[in-house]
């Protein structure tokens, strides 16, 4: 497992008018192996662009991202992605979805079947291997997506709003599952979310990004992810420290949005 390093990452998108949109400006950070990072910010702050650069889906127009000793210049098996909508093959069974990556590597079938069962057990889907994926609820499909990602043993797990489409109760259960997997596997995780509460609960580290151009505005080191492994998440969310930090970040993002709206009105 290796550290992720972003070094003065810039991203400028060219427009048909000939102008450029500066989506990211001089973003630098180091994410050490085993850390859980949540990235939060108002719309247009570049958080999804940053995730896509780390995933290798985009090449930055300036700076670089490295994972270990290798510059990221495209998708790779050292990174696994979990999308908001699981991006599953709905015509396949749960087990066929989970072992898709291993089958592409022509892994041993018996060993693969055993690993599939292990991961289905970890994500709470024991006995569902033969179920057509389209029959599953949204929460269960996201569990499949997690298992499909993790079975390939990536160094870095990237999550793009993975719980955003779930109902409140299912989302809470999945948050607990993400924390469980993080602790038990020691994986490095980077998660993008629009939810301040979710970012606070899941982020051992938390970046708040500011827009136009997208940049790191403030970083938090938080205790709530570690607490969430043994304590009731609802009690954590009601604690004074959690509430005060949530209100501070909400005010911060609100002020950013007000500034954006003010600029738009003067244009």
CATH of domain 25-44+55-83+155-194+202-236: 3.40.50.300
pLDDT of residue 75: 92
pLDDT of residue 259: 76
Q: Which residue has the tokens 């029959």?
A: 135
pLDDT of residue 174: 84
**Which residue stretches of 46-167 are H helix?**
47-55, 94-98, 100-104, 109-122, 138-150
pLDDT of residue 49: 94
Q: Give the separation between CA 203 and CA 220, rounded to whole angstroms.
A: 9
Mean pLDDT by 10 residues, the chain (267 residues): 90 82 94 95 91 95 94 92 80 89 75 86 89 89 89 91 80 87 91 93 95 92 93 92 96 85 56
Q: What end-to-end distance do the CA atoms of the chain give, in Å?
A: 47
Burial class (CB in 10 A: 0-12, 13-18, 19+), 51: buried
Are the C-beta atoms of 33 and 3 separated by less than 8 Å? yes
pLDDT of residue 200: 95
From 220, 221, 242, select the one nearest 231 (Cα to Cα): 242
Q: How many CB atoms lie within 10 A of CB 136?
A: 20
For the chain, domain boundaries:
25-44+55-83+155-194+202-236, 88-153
Q: Give the separation between CA 79 and CA 190, rounded to whole angstroms.
A: 11
């Amino acid at each position: 497992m290796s550290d992720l390093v972003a070094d003065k990452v810039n991203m400028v998108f060219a427009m048909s008018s000939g102008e450029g949109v500066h989506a990211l400006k001089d973003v630098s950070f180091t994410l050490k192996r085993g850390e859980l990072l949540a990235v939060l910010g108002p719309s247009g702050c570049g958080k999804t662009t940053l995730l896509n650069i780390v995933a290798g889906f985009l090449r930055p127009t300036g700076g670089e991202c490295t994972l270990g000793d290798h510059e990221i210049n495209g998708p790779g098996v050292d990174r696994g992605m979990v999308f908001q909508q699981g991006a599953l093959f709905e015509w396949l069974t749960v087990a066929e979805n989970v072992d898709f990556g291993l089958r592409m590597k022509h892994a041993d079938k018996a060993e693969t079947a055993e690993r599939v069962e292990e991961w289905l057990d970890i994500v709470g889907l024991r006995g569902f291997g033969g179920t057509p994926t389209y029959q599953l609820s949204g929460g269960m499909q996201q569990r499949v997506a997690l298992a499909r990602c993790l079975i390939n043993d990536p160094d870095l797990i990237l999550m793009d709003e993975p719980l955003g489409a779930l109902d409140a109760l299912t989302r809470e259960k999945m948050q607990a599952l993400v924390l469980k997997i993080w602790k038990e596997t020691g994986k490095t995780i980077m998660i993008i979310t629009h939810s301040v509460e979710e970012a606070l609960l899941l982020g051992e580290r938390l970046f708040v990004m500011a827009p136009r151009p997208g940049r790191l505005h403030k970083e938090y080191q938080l205790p709530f992810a570690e607490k969430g492994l043994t304590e009731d998440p609802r009690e954590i969310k009601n604690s004074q420290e959690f509430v005060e930090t949530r209100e501070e970040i909400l005010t911060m993002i609100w002020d950013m949005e007000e500034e954006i709206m003010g600029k738009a009105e003067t244009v």
